[in-house]
Structure 1
Amino acid sequence: MAQDYPYEERPRRRGRKVLITLVVLLLVLAGLLVVADRVAAGVAERAIADQVRQEVAKQDAQSAPPEVEVGGFPFLTQVLDGRYERISIVLRNVQGSVQGDAVSVPRLDVDARDVRASLDTIRSGQGEVVAETVNGTGTISYDSLAKLLDRPGLRLAEQNGRLAVTAPVDILGQRLTVTGTADITVGKEGQVSLRFNDLDAEGLPNVPLARTLLSNYAKGISVDVPLPDLPFQLTVREVRPLPEGLAVTADARDVPINSAG
């Protein structure tokens, strides 16, 4: 019986070799499919980035070249279906002009979900890329906002979760430093309003006229912020002071994220 062992082991060894070969081939094939999938996604991302650039230009705005990432895997099945789980767009150094005043948004992140785009649209760049929901988050720099208020020496910053102001003011012949915070509201149409209702100044003369002058200064810097039209029909829903600036949250539904050809 001992002499039969070598003959029984040979088929087993051949079987293992065949199995290993099949596994290797499957892994290679899977790798090639992943590579092809990512290459196709890259082509689509570049095509969408070019169309987003045109959309931004339509709003009389400027930005660095858009950065686009198509989410979801595999990508090719999404192409065939004409629907994409998510398209993320990053716009840097966004600048627009409103009433002659420049508004700076260092970074605008746009997250488009449930995006519809035909294969022909992706390939040719002609047609609409429509997103069911679009959410945008950006930051308005405090320097840019201070320029809009147009008060020499005025500085804005975040303080305990609120928008704080510091500014030199001449009141009754005295140079005082005014400090305080603002209430921020967002209107139905996405209009952002700043109201400085809580200002004070150390050393303020204890006379009604001094208090009236301080109140007038507060009214002078209480403004409706002239935000530029955001791309993709985004409407502002919330504004929060952060250390780096005013964080703006906006959204929209059923909108094109490209310029239709």
Structure 2
Amino acid sequence: MRGLRILLIIVVVLGGIFVAVDRIAVNVAENKAADKIRSSQGLNSTPDVSIKGFPFLTQVASSELDEVDVKLAGITATAQGRSIQLTEVRAELKNVKINSSFSSAVAASATGSARVSYADLTKSAPKGATVSYAGAERAAKGQVKVTGSIADLLTGAGISVPESLKALPPLSTYSTVSLVGGDQVRLHAESLPPLVEDSLRKVVDYNLKIDGLPSSIKLDKTAAAEDGIEFSGTGTNVDLAG
């Protein structure tokens, strides 16, 4: 019995050592992966990388990680030279093939998501426009509210405004949010005042290009929420370090 007790103690101790070593190894790997993603993707800050699954060392031995979660910062969106920051940018990566130095990492599949607040959407919008939440009914249709002075909108776009049009009431319309080309969010106004529709549509309809996402991740879903526009995408064979 004493021998069995000693053996059990040894097993527990060795198990504890293995767990400790495994956790140290995964922390080192997460830091290396974060630095590599930052440099390869040209990010302004280091992402937060979390390698899932236990034990980690057996995953390394097989050169494949079951799941890696990444929180990104420094991802931007641009519209006609206007740049804004995206928030809550996340990626869930599955079956990530790696090499021993973590200089190569390719995910068999990936799901990415992000959000842009209405305050930042307003910064990306044409001069004089304000983008806001349109209420639950309109949001369910994927729409946001766009308001602003018609004269200011046209003037801000360099369009001459006749005196007769300066007295028009402020614009208040709804824009439908959609996706274009896998990397752009489009805002398209539902209706505009007939007198200035052609000129105004050139101003208030615009695309927001998402910069910094791996080229193999394509946006495929978007929604208008109370705190901003949310969008997500999927990809296969996503190269994180190249």
Q: Distance in 2 between matches of 1:114 and 1:67?
A: 18
- Structure 2's unaligned 5+ residue stretches are 152-163
Q: Distance in 2 between matches of 1:105 and 1:216?
A: 30
Corresponding residue to 2:68 among 68, 87, 98: 87
Q: Distance in 1 between matches of 2:109 and 2:144?
A: 30
Corresponding residue to 1:235 among 209, 218, 239: 218
Specify the alignment match of 1:22 in structure 2.
Answer: 7
What is the aligned-residue identity percentage? 21
| Aligned Cα root-mean-square deviation (Å) | 2.5
Aligned-residue offset at 1:87:
1.1
Q: Distance in 2 between matches of 1:180 and 1:95?
A: 26
Specify the alignment match of 2:184 in structure 1.
Answer: 191
Change (3 A) 1:232 1:39: farther
Give the conservation status (yes or no) of the 8 Å contact 2:41–2:212: no
Aligned-residue offset at 1:152:
1.9
Partner of 2:46: helix, strand, or coil? Answer: coil
Corresponding residue to 1:246 among 214, 229, 233: 229
Corresponding residue to 1:40 among 17, 21, 25: 25
Answer with 1 or 2: which has the greater Rg.
1
Alignment of 1:68-217 (within 5 A): 68-95=49-76, 99-119=80-100, 121-122=101-102, 125=103, 128-152=104-128, 154-160=130-136, 161=139, 162-169=143-150, 172-174=165-167, 176-198=169-191, 211-213=194-196, 216-217=199-200
Q: Distance in 1 between matches of 2:117 and 2:239?
A: 28
Aligned residues: 225
Q: TM-score, normalised by structure 2?
A: 0.81
Change (3 A) 1:158 1:78: farther
- Structure 1's unaligned 5+ residue stretches are 1-14, 200-209
- The one-letter code of the counterpart of 1:143 is A
Q: Distance in 2 between matches of 1:55 and 1:159?
A: 40
Specify the alignment match of 1:202 in structure 2.
Answer: none
Partner of 2:8: helix, strand, or coil? Answer: helix
Aligned-residue offset at 1:175:
6.4
Deviations 1:162-194 (A, max 9, x none): 322233445845463433322122234443221
Q: Distance in 1 between matches of 2:51 and 2:183?
A: 28
Partner of 1:64: helix, strand, or coil? Answer: coil
Deviations 1:198-251 (A, max 9, x none): 46xxxxxxxxxx642367535521122233242353211111112222111022
Give the conservation status (yes or no) of the 8 Å contact 2:214–2:238: no
Q: TM-score, normalised by structure 1?
A: 0.75
- The one-letter code of the counterpart of 1:104 is Q
- The one-letter code of the counterpart of 1:118 is N
